[in-house]
Structure 1
Amino acid sequence: MLSLLISLLLAFLIGWVSQRMGMCLVNATGLLLRRRPTLFVSLISCGLFGLLLAPFYRLFGISQPLFVPDVGYVSLVGGGLLFGIASVLNDGCSVGTLTKLASGNLSKAFTIVGWVVGIVLWYHLNMLTEHKTLQMPTISSHQYWLTIGIVLMALLFLIRVHGDKHLVLSSMLLGALTSALYTFEPLWTPSVFFYDLSQMFWASGDGSLTSQRVAVFVMLMVGMLSYTLHRRTFSYQRFEWRAAGKHLLAGVLMGIGASMMLGGNDSQILLVFPTMTWVGAVPLGAIVVGILVGIGVRRVRGRIRETRS
């Protein structure tokens, strides 16, 4: 019972902090293009900050579920590009979808539906793979500490330039909270939750989607909603079928992309990228490139419409 209560509290705090940060890789990449890189660097660094607690976990024999996708580069790059482009179409990544849903954009629920449909489609095409190599970087390695030092120096520089101190502090706090929640509920991330939800359509007796995991996901959403109510930023957006159809299509593509690289951008940032391996950096890099391509296409379409009008 105590473990469940701690998990629910951590999930609530993660939801609160994520909403406060505006945690969305699409938004962060857009700000990066406008020379406001603080949010982008903060998001990418979340998983690395979580690793700062690794000596504490090792002392108590607790392991973190970090992994390297054991699939080909074509699948990693292709899945990342597809996921990134679809995220722009959706106007939000995995966590960004949930933060906007909690802010009153109910059409985002169709992204989740589409995500599940995409995974199911990929499974029925016999393309779904599940090859993960668990890997925990050595906390004392010079490479790890050098990377953490570079990230900290970059963030401190960005604070002086842009003054977004709360983003850096929120990033460090979010890294600690997510790392702590992994010790109690290793499968809490939204993209993993969506994957196990989709498994109900082909493995009804699997039982991986426990009541505790559902409660943690609900509490994550409650944390996001609570922050919007606290800041009075909740804004109900009228439901439109056209928008719902767009989010459904984007969700299908995001689900397929996440299946190809064994996890959405949340898993890539928090579980794969912190392994400090080249393979672990490829899918996240591909996602960012896909987002850049999507933003570029959207800008070109906007200019074409302006010239026609």
Structure 2
Amino acid sequence: MSEFLTNISGIVPVAARLEIWASVALIAALGFVLGFAMNRGSICTVIATKELISEKRPARFIALIESAAWAALVYAILETAPMMHGRWSSLGFLVPAAILLGIGSYVNGACVFGSVGHIGNGEIEFAFTFLGIYAVVYIESLFDLFADQPAIDAAPSLGVALPALALLAIVALRLGVSRRSGSNFRRLTLAMGVVGVTSTVLAVLAPGFSLTASFGPIASIPVAGAVIPLSMFGGSFVSARLRKHGFMLRWPTVTTMVKRTLAGMLMGAGALLIPGGNDTLLLIGLPAGAWQAALAYVLFVATIAALVVKFGSIARAWT
């Protein structure tokens, strides 16, 4: 299906063009639903880590792992192996890259998921986060620093039984801690299920795509590379508009624009070296059972946690 997307402007039969537009519409719809869920569930690793460290509330952090279990289950049901751009870096690159990704996310005040949610809330300054990310990956593409890195299949997905059991265990654990912390269990359950399912289907339809991946896969799937982020932002915006007091347009200052751009550049640099941001680690690497993804995500979270302990954080959920 992804081959159709690269030829959308070509001269093709009417039936093929209809299939192309149907594919584009499906990808747009999935991206919209994904962005809607990110905003509605206040899904962000920085927020989850801050709640875990400062408020002793682990529910939101557990929910992030839950999204990985959902993704693993969908891959198993579809009998498809997760696909990522290039191979995992060696430890010499992976470790500092994960730390760099954590520093950038902390400075930004939100990870990639959280930035999508903030934009939907009207916080335009977070658009500069993605400007910084794409500036880095565009520069990488100009110099071909990671040339000849096509999308590859990761390790085969696990059978249906194991991810299903893991998912039930994670949900049960979160239910237990939610009763004590007052977390909105139902909303998070629905949001994480939607994120895990829609992101996996999108990964199957547009192999190699990631919000923080190298410019290569975005250039190789130009339609999907543009439609998915735009539809995600649209879904996040609609979600915020539907919530009472959920949307308030905030114009950025020069200081915040510079801060978000620099933070995005740090996040983009880390994602290039891993390769992939927290979206790739959670929704592709962990479902594939890659130890590199597990290590990178632990280091990413540990970096944010250390910075929260040292300097504190004003990051907070908006629902």
Q: Shared fold by TM > 0.5?
A: yes
Q: CA deviation at 1:236?
A: 1.7
Alignment of 1:13-32 (within 5 A): 13-32=33-52
Q: Which of 103, 124, 133 lines up with 1:115 in the alignment?
A: 133
- Does 2:70 align with 1:49? yes
Aligned-pair identity (%) = 22
The one of 223, 247, 262 aligned to 1:249? 262
| Contact 1:67–1:135 (Cα < 8 Å) also in 2 | no
Distance in 1 of aligned mates of 2:254 and 2:194: 38
Q: Please tell me whether residue 76 in structure 1 is matched to residue 94 in structure 2.
A: yes
Most deviating of 110-119 and 267-276: 110-119
Tell me, yes or no, if the aligned pair for 1:47 and 1:274 is still in contact at 8 Å: yes
**Which residue number in structure 1 is paired with residue 311 of structure 2?**
298
* Aligned AA (2:45): L
CA distance in 2, matches of 1:56, 1:117: 37
Deviates more, 1:241-250 or 1:105-114: 105-114
Say whether 1:11 aligns with 2:11.
no
**Alignment RMSD, CA only?**
2.7
Which secondary structure does the structure 1 equivalent of 2:57 belong to? coil
Within the alignment, does 1:219 sit opposite 2:192 as a pair?
Answer: no
Q: Is the 8 A contact 1:69 1:279 kept in 2?
A: no
Partner Cα separation in structure 2 for residue 51 and residue 212 of structure 1:
22
Which of 166, 169, 174 aligns to 1:155? It is: 174
Task: Report the alpha carbon displacement of residue 105 of structure 1 after superposing the two structures with TM.
Answer: 1.6
Match among 120, 124, 134 for residue 106 of structure 1: 124
| Bigger mean CA deviation after superposition, 33-42 or 291-300 | 291-300
The question of 1:91 aligning with 2:104 is answered no
Shift of 1:272: 0.6
Q: Distance in 2 between matches of 1:139 and 1:99?
A: 32
CA 280–67 in structure 1, closer or farther in 2 if over 3 Å, else same:
farther
User: Is the 2:86–2:275 contact (alpha carbons within 8 Å) kept by the matching residues of 1?
Assistant: no
Alignment of 1:146-185 (within 5 A): 147-163=166-182, 164-165=184-185, 166-185=187-206
Q: Secondary structure at the match of 2:207?
A: coil
For the 8 Å contact 2:82–2:153, the answer to whether it is kept is no
**Structure 2 unaligned residues grouped into runs of 5+:** 1-20, 314-319
**What secondary structure sits across from 2:308 in the alignment?**
helix
Partner deviation per Cα, 1:51-108 (whole Å, 9 max, x = no partner) = 22334312xxx55426894321121111111111111101111121122122222222
- Say which SS state the counterpart of residue 36 (structure 1) adopts: coil
Q: Deviations over 1:99-154 (max 9, x none)?
A: 21222222222211211233345567875474866212321575x56644542332
User: TM-score, normalization: structure 2?
Assistant: 0.80
Q: Aligned pair 1:228/2:240, yes or no?
A: yes
- Taking the aligned partners of 1:133 and 1:63, their CA distance within structure 2 comes to 6
Report the alpha carbon displacement of residue 169 of structure 1 after superposing the two structures with TM. Answer: 2.8
